Amino acid sequence: MSATFSSIPPLESVFNLNEFEVIASKTLPDQVYAYYACSADDEVSYRQNHHSFHKIYFRPKILVDVTDIDLTTEMFGRKFKFPFYVSATALCGLGNPEGGEVSIVKACGNEEFCIPQMISTFSSNPLEDIVAAKNNAAQEQWFQLYVNGDRTITKELILKAEKLGVNALFVTVDAAQPGNRERDLRFKFSNNDKKKGPNVMKQGQTANGTSGALSKLIDTALTWKDIENFKTFTNLPIVLKGVQRVDDVIKAAEIGCSGVVLSNHGGRQLDFSVPPVEVLAEVMPVLRSRGLDKKFNVFIDGGIRRGTDVLKALCLGASGVGIASPFLYANSLYGTEGVEKAFDLLIKELILSMRLLGVTSISQLNPDLLDLRGLYDRSLPSNYPFHHHDTTYETNARY
């Protein structure tokens, strides 16, 4: 253990999503935190993903009755209580061996929240168990697919997910090979009962780093033809996860995909890839000009830690916002209660920020509420931390 705390602090002492990672960095086993937190090369894209939201400012409206705030939104043409979802993360069982992804399912199904959950191909729990753990008929589960070199395995996995009742298929398209994640590479990965990924992995595999073990199960030959082929045998909405260019977004819409996730894999793949919020600002005007914005879902993930970050993405036109690491750390530290606490913190921030912005519903959010003049400034503050968690939160937190 690398912990400096005598024990994990009480959940009520956590005041924002950033603090879950601060605690995790000091309490999770070194190998586990290294895998969860690692990014590619010098981790510039990781830091810029978050910092890019700091370069967008609000233009609030005044003298608006903001007594009642409505956070409901539409994704895939269906109504959801909140405009964010739990994005997929592999091997939740590394941090929470007893619960894994199932602990997140229980939090998502809480009647108060009913948050969509994206399930990784490389989940610790079997897909069947994750689906069976649903405790709310209204909660949605989406399956994140890593395409296997053996297309028969991939087809069987898609059909199994569809038969089990998942609501959408998110095909990962930015991971032909794992990025150079040096922090993770310092550790050997060994699979055991509590840490395995039963959907695709066999016990006994070892490699340099957890990412290295998973990389053997990903195909480098994935192309647009595969995406079109998937449409011939599944009725699930297909979303491409990891799109980073405007022309690729347009092509996805034109071939009949239901949406895209603008993402650079949390900065874990190609370092110096563009922050997703910049791509969002570029692509939405193009989609609107072509009449492709109404029924086509544009999601975004990467660097989103505050309710204000969510609102900025929604103002730019995002259909919904994916958040992964904070919920992963909350689950690792506190299980279901931790994930519920993270949901509650984020929702309270959204309500407060919408009131102060002078809007009462998600439908009122638009680019006019933003100042984007600094968005494309590539500089980082001189005191910006190299490591993942900002020391500001460590200093201010009462642990």
pLDDT of residue 122: 92
pLDDT digits (tens, 9 = 90+) for 255-270: 999 999 999 987 787 8
pLDDT digits (tens, 9 = 90+) for 254-312: 999 999 999 998 778 788 889 999 999 999 999 999 999 889 999 999 999 999 999 99
> Which one is catalytic: 51, 265, 388, 389?
265
Binding residues for FMN: 88-90, 120, 144, 172, 241, 301-305
Packing angle between helix 18-27 and helix 325-334, nearest 10 degrees?
50
CB 238 within 8 A of CB 231: yes
Instruction: Give yes or no: 50 in active site.
Output: no
Q: What angle do CA 160, 163, 168 make, to 5 degrees?
A: 85
pLDDT digits (tens, 9 = 90+) for 357-384: 999 999 999 999 999 999 998 776 555 5
CB 183 within 8 A of CB 34: yes
Confidence of residue 4 (pLDDT cuts 50, 70, 90): very low
First to last CA, the chain: 18
Which domains are seen in the chain, by residue range?
A: 19-190+212-371 (3.20.20.70)
pLDDT of residue 193: 40
H helix intervals, 300-358: 307-316, 325-334, 336-357
Binding residues for glyoxylate: 35, 146, 181, 263, 265, 268
Binding residues: 35, 88-90, 120, 144, 146, 172, 181, 241, 263, 265, 268, 301-305
pLDDT at position 96 over 60: yes
